[in-house]
Chains A and B, each alone.
Chain A
Amino acid sequence: QVQLQESGPGLVKPSETLSLTCGVSGYSINSGYYWGWIRQPPGKGLEWIGNIYNSGSTYFNPSLKGRVTISLDTSRNQFSLNLSSVTAADTAVYFCARVSWGLRDSYNYFYYMDVWGTGTTVTVSS
């Protein structure tokens, strides 16, 4: 059974960098799939942050204006999120997820998150 678990500081100061890790058990991140991050501000909906493939290729939400990096640590079977220059608007529950992504019928993409972590709350405050 594949399980994901987020970890990291629950409180980050404004202008600093938010760093989270997602530990994966029951599946080797080297074996395929994309791995992604999603967040949910208090009382709001889901916001897509970005994802990474085991080749290292990444896609990010342009609204985060280059503040995001996602990396893989295959030796520890985990992947990480760094979000720099945080403000109160970055306060949210952060989820990691396994992502299925590919082409069907030559030009239609399928894209979905089939396994999610439980989420970790990050508050940006001084």
Chain B
Amino acid sequence: QSVLTQPPSLSAAPGQKVTISCSGSSSNIGNNYVSWYQQLPGTAPKLLIYENNKRPSGIPDRFSGSKSGSSATLGIIGLQTGDEADYYCGTWDNSLSTGVFGGGTKLTVL
């Protein structure tokens, strides 16, 4: 059971928009910044969003992040087949004194 809760799977058509939610508590998301990772099949995770809504160099602006209270959201617009991947949210948990991840969301673009 992951500390952060994500929907296990989502699907959407090419060109559409999708949002992936990540729910936590005051000990993690509620008081710390959230990051998002994309894991393409058979590869290592890649940082997509850090500090709630910042994109590393090279990440297209089709990807966006937001946070409200103890929940965060990853948004992807103009979906492409290449966006099919597992997406994970992560942050630091002040009570556990550990890094924590969501269980991951498998995005299918069909």
Contact = CB atoms under 8 A, between A and B. Distances in A.
A46 B45 CA distance: 9
Given A110-B33, A111-B35, A112-B35, A45 B102 contact: yes
A112 B98 contact: no
Contacts of B100: 48
Classify chain A's interface size: 20 to 34
Classify chain B's interface size: 20 to 34
Nearest to A99: B99
Given A59-B97, A61-B98, A104-B33, A45 B92 contact: no
Contacts of A115: 47
Contact of B50 (A36, A95, A114, A118): A114
Given A46-B101, A62-B96, A108 B33 contact: yes
A45 B104 contact: yes
A119 B33 contact: no
Interface of A: 36, 38, 45-48, 51, 59-62, 95, 99-101, 104, 107-119
